[in-house]
């Protein structure tokens, strides 16, 4: 695994130290409010590219809070100790070479334990992020679950709204392993135990966003190059990362739904209120001086973890399977995960359409696909827009697939995710009157400007 090896990261704190050393972390000691202020500071740090935020003084709470930890590809590369350009290939290798977690008997995540009546979510620093969010939401919590009547564990992200001292609602979308587990439990009238983990070795967060047919903790181990230590929960037999800052244990109740939302989402829109299952919290455990980790809902961090990292390796694989002319692929965060761009060295005129179809098969979220020539910089939106403007003949180059499966939070789809997909061949037509792109040689200005 070229350029990637084990590192000194083993929990959130050791990663915060590395972010600090790389000037990727801003520590804010001024007192901040959970309601809207933290969300706004994190969004501004992201917009200005200033790094992650660590808030040491949170109004009305005894804990620190951090956010935007994996908000840029630079920080994700640091977390994986991997060069930015190698992330996709490295992740493919990790998915193929998982490392099983290591069970420990004692763990720092259980230094403080609250069960039964002692459980109080109002003590945990859970922010209300965007100005029109319906309440405080756990957005940066990794959900650890176990299949009903089985042993297979799973990691995923699900948003949870705080509904009371020991009550949360949980949005479980289509195509999720947690949905399979919960549906199976609910069919037999049983609740499904889960644990919500906040603040861990960042590879747990990277792995939780991946699609893997098994326990994503094994993929986290592969990224880290060693087994992740896990410990049994206090009120269930779920195993959670031992160095987690906070663990909220609970069970998703069967046969009951409650309205939750709205929440500023990865689509860049507020999602309308939604009927979701409810979690009864059975325990809260945390480290001494625990640091809560959050993710702004409508943020590039959300899109990078949920859409870019997990899908780009698959996109490359599917597109390349269809054409050896594929040069590179990109799922830009500004497309909310609904846009894929494929760069090709075209041999045949029909090829871009087949490649666009392959891209759509990568994952349900991919809705719009733009195929460009080799001379277009897929990381530069202006260059892609140039190809769209100067190389697309709409009636020939654009095709639609109506009534396909997309994501149900996409404002263009219905509540089950039914939508129209669009493929755009933005490569230059073979018989175009103009064939060569202008490229000026770069001048050495020091020779001209004193
Ligand atoms: C920050 C973040 C928030 C997310 N919120 C939700 C959510 O509320 N509900 C949901 O079903 N998926 C959500 N997702 C997407 C899933 O967590 C993600 O697709 C994950 O890989 C699913 O795991 P699975 O393949 O094991 O089912 C979110 C992803 C991220 C990164
Ligand atoms: Mn899974």
Can you give the pLDDT of all 450 residues of the chain as single tens digits?
444 445 689 999 999 999 999 999 999 999 999 999 999 999 999 999 999 999 999 999 999 999 999 999 999 999 999 999 899 999 999 999 999 999 999 999 999 999 999 999 999 999 999 999 999 999 999 999 999 999 999 999 999 999 999 999 999 998 899 999 999 999 999 999 999 999 999 999 999 999 899 999 999 999 999 999 999 999 999 999 999 999 999 999 999 999 999 999 999 999 989 999 999 999 999 999 999 999 999 999 999 999 999 999 999 999 999 999 999 999 999 999 999 999 999 999 999 999 999 999 999 999 999 999 999 999 999 999 999 999 999 999 999 999 999 999 999 999 999 999 999 999 999 999 888 899 999 999 999 997
In whole angstroms, what is the distance from residue 150 CA to residue 152 CA?
A: 6
Protein residue with its CA nearest to atom 23 in ligand 1 = 156
CA of 251 relative to ligand 1 center, distance in Å:
18
Atom of ligand 1 nearest to the CA of 205: 31
In whole angstroms, what is the distance from residue 212 CA to residue 198 CA?
A: 21
Q: Domain spanning 6-305 has what CATH number?
A: 2.30.110.10
Protein residue with its CA nearest to atom 29 in ligand 1 = 306
Name the closest ligand to CA 208: 1
Instruction: Provide the token pair at 238.
Output: 């779920």
In the three-class reduction of DSSP (H, G, I as helix; E, B as strand; rest coil), residue 343 is classed as: strand
In whole angstroms, what is the distance from residue 193 CA to residue 182 CA?
A: 9
CA of 276 relative to ligand 2 center, distance in Å:
20
Atom of ligand 1 nearest to the CA of 174: 11
* Stretch(es) of the chain classified as CATH 3.40.1670.10: 311-425
Protein residue with its CA nearest to atom 30 in ligand 1 = 306
Among candidate residues 148, 142, 215, 156, the one with its CA nearest the CA of residue 181:
148
CA of 381 relative to ligand 2 center, distance in Å:
32
Ligand 1 binding site (Cβ under 6 Å of any ligand atom): 139, 154, 156-159, 171-173, 176-178, 209-211, 295, 302, 305-306
- Report CA dihedral (136, 141, 147, 153) to the nearest 10 degrees: -170
* Stretch(es) of the chain classified as CATH 2.30.110.10: 6-305
- The DSSP 8-state label assigned to residue 422 in this structure reads E
Name the closest ligand to CA 179: 1
CA of 29 relative to ligand 2 center, distance in Å:
37
* Residue 180 CA neighbour count, 13 Å, CB half: 13
The matching CATH number, chosen from 3.40.1670.10, 2.60.120.10, 3.40.50.970, 3.40.190.10, for 311-425 is 3.40.1670.10
């Amino acid at each position: 695994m070229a350029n990637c090896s084990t590192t000194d990261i083993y929990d959130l704190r050791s990663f915060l130290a590395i972010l600090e050393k790389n000037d990727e972390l801003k520590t804010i000691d001024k007192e901040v409010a959970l309601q809207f202020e933290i969300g706004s500071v994190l969004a501004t740090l992201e917009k200005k590219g200033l790094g992650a935020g660590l808030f040491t003084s949170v109004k009305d709470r005894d804990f620190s809070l951090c956010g935007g930890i994996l908000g840029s590809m630079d920080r994700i590369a640091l977390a994986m100790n991997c060069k930015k350009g190698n992330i996709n290939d490295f992740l493919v290798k990790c998915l193929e070479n998982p490392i099983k977690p290591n069970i420990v008997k004692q763990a720092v995540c259980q230094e403080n334990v609250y069960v039964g009546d002692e459980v109080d979510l109002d003590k945990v620093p859970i922010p209300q992020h965007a100005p029109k969010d319906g309440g405080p939401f756990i957005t940066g919590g990794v959900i650890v679950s176990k299949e009903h009547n089985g042993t297979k564990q799973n990691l995923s992200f699900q948003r949870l709204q705080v509904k009371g001292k020991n009550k949360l609602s949980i949005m479980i979308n289509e195509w999720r392993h947690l949905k399979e587990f919960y549906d199976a439990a609910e069919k037999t009238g049983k609740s499904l135990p889960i644990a919500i983990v906040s603040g861990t070795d960042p590879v747990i967060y990277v792995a939780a966003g991946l699609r893997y047919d098994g326990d994503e903790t094994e993929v986290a181990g592969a990224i880290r190059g060693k087994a992740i230590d896990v410990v049994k929960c206090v009120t269930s037999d779920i195993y959670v990362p031992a160095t987690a800052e906070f663990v909220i244990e609970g069970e998703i109740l069967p046969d009951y739904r409650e309205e939750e939302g709205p929440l500023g989402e990865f689509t860049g829109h507020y999602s309308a209120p939604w009927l979701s299952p409810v979690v009864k919290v059975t325990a809260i455990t945390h480290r001494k001086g625990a640091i809560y980790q959050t993710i702004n809902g409508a943020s590039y961090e959300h899109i990078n973890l949920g859409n870019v990292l997990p899908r780009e390796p698959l996109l490359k694989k599917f597109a390349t399977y269809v054409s050896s002319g594929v040069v590179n692929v990109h799922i830009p965060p500004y497309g909310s995960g609904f846009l894929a761009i494929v760069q090709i060295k075209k041999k045949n005129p029909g090829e871009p359409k087949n490649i666009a179809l392959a891209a759509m098969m990568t994952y349900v979220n991919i809705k719009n696909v733009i195929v460009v020539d080799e001379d277009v910089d897929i990381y530069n939106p202006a260059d892609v827009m140039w190809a769209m403007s100067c190389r697309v003949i709409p009636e020939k180059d654009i095709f639609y697939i109506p009534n396909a499966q997309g994501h149900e939070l996409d404002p263009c789809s219905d509540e089950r995710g039914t939508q129209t997909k669009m493929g755009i061949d933005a490569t230059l037509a073979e018989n175009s009157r103009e064939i060569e792109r202008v490229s000026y040689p770069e001048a050495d200005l020091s020779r001209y400007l004193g």
